[in-house]
Amino acid sequence: MSSPNPGGEREKLISKLPAHLQQALKVRAAQLQTDMQDAVAAGIQAWRSCTDQLPTVNTAGAASFGTFLPEGLYDAFKEDCRDRGVSYIQGLAQSVALWLVEHPAGLDVRPRHTRRIIVCNQKGGVGKTAVSAGLAEALAEAFPEVTSDAEALEKALDAAAEGLNVLLVDYDAQGHLSHQLGLKAIPAGEESLITHMLHREQTRQSLLDLTVVIEGDRFGGRLRILPAAFDAFLLDSGLTMFRGPRHAALERALAPIEEHFDVIVIDSPPSLGLAMDAALYYGRQRDDERPGRSGLLIPVEAEDTSAQAYGMLIQQTDSLARDYDIVIEQIGLVVNKYDSRRGYIATSSLGKWNSLGTPPVLAVVPDLKEQREAVRKQRPLLDYAPDCDQSHQMRKIARAVKSA
């Protein structure tokens, strides 16, 4: 609907827009010091003049959105939507996405703090490693130069601005992340993340020197991994005897290399011990850090035991937050390995996860063969099968993380 504003020069547009596009529009307009209504108007004008067949934007769960347009533009926009056979919501979503890709953020808006995403769940087998790797790959990914407005829109929807510099940390003693990417754990006795946490004064190498570039044209050298350490299973006992602040041991080790990365993704162990306390503390909201930029990403499955494990993790998180008077945010949930053919348990559990509202379900990753094939071949999923549904869901998580 539209209604004239008091000045008569603009008309009010009331429609719906996906939450991630609303957030991205708000942030980008603020970065570029542009009025949001001018940004939407420019996007609609670009959409109207576009002659390419544009890809469909997923508008499921779109929320109410209102703005003001120059007089007459809304009626012309509605007529174009009818001519193209798309809904007003779809047309608006495509318009905003086009504006985003045509108006990238400047280079001076790099956040003050490196973002820290802790991928965690006390329950094993829920896919923490797959989600950690997929998210990191999607954040680091960049696409070839676009040749049309349709490709530009596809690029915007996949959060394919300049790929970020990302560090993956294999913080699990089992070392599945390292193995899946073709790397061996650092042998016992050699410098590693563990020695930097427990014996920093005895270390000689920078942790940066221990990181390994993950190959892939889509990552352009921006994606690195800090491999697991063979003696990481001793970390909890080592922290018990640690003389310094145990909860800050991981931060103490990683702080010197944070400046080299936009995002650090931690693949956590399935435990509730002291090592997990250190990871949770590392993901806390720091002073003068904007809410939602760092925190916990929690993979779960659509079954009952995941809900029980989630409850245990939140109890630990709340206890740590009270003890140290800190804020540890839950960025969102990822329902992993979902298959509706498993019947009522799967579908009803997914409904329960969605009904939580806070934290939101950021993606539902299907149980498909591509992830298992990538693991077998020891290749990154987004390099092995960039167009599979699992890869697109990892990009969806990355969009949510980037827009915070």
State residue 162's pLDDT score: 62
Same domain? 78 vs 125? no
- Where in the sequence is the domain holding 27, given as residue range(s)? 2-102
Write out the two tokens for 211.
């990181």
Boundary (domain end) residue, out of 56, 78, 102: 102
Nearest of 131, 288, 269, 291 to residue 280 by alpha carbon: 269
Q: Helix and strand tally (H, E) in the chain?
A: 17, 11
Same domain? 195 vs 262? yes
Same domain? 295 vs 353? yes
pLDDT digits (tens, 9 = 90+) for 12-64: 888 999 887 887 888 788 777 788 999 999 999 999 998 888 888 888 878 89
Same domain? 48 vs 121? no
Same domain? 274 vs 380? yes
Boundary (domain end) residue, out of 53, 69, 102: 102
pLDDT digits (tens, 9 = 90+) for 371-404: 999 999 999 999 999 999 999 999 999 988 887 7
Same domain? 346 vs 216? yes
Nearest of 258, 229, 273 to residue 111 by alpha carbon: 258
Residue with the larger pLDDT of the pair 68 and 156:
68
Q: What is the mean pLDDT of residues 82-95?
A: 93
- What CATH number did the domain enclosing 123 receive? 3.40.50.300
Same domain? 192 vs 264? yes
Contact criterion met (CB below 8 Å) for 119 and 136: no
Boundary (domain end) residue, out of 102, 128, 162: 102
288: confidence class by pLDDT, cuts 50, 70, 90: confident
Same domain? 31 vs 129? no
Same domain? 217 vs 82? no
pLDDT digits (tens, 9 = 90+) for 61-76: 788 999 999 989 999 9
Same domain? 146 vs 286? yes
Share of the chain above pLDDT 70, in %: 91
State residue 6's pLDDT score: 42
Tokens 């008309």: give the residue: 11
Write out the two tokens for 201.
């004064």
- Angstrom CA distances, 313 to 143, 248, 273, stand at 36, 19, 11
DSSP state letter for 162: S
The residues pairing with 223 across neighbouring beta strands, listed in sequence order, are: 166
Q: What is the mean pLDDT of residues 77-98?
A: 93
Same domain? 76 vs 119? no
pLDDT digits (tens, 9 = 90+) for 299-346: 998 888 888 889 999 999 999 999 999 999 999 999 998 888 888 888
Contact criterion met (CB below 8 Å) for 44 and 95: yes
Same domain? 189 vs 148? yes
**Number of domains, the chain:** 2
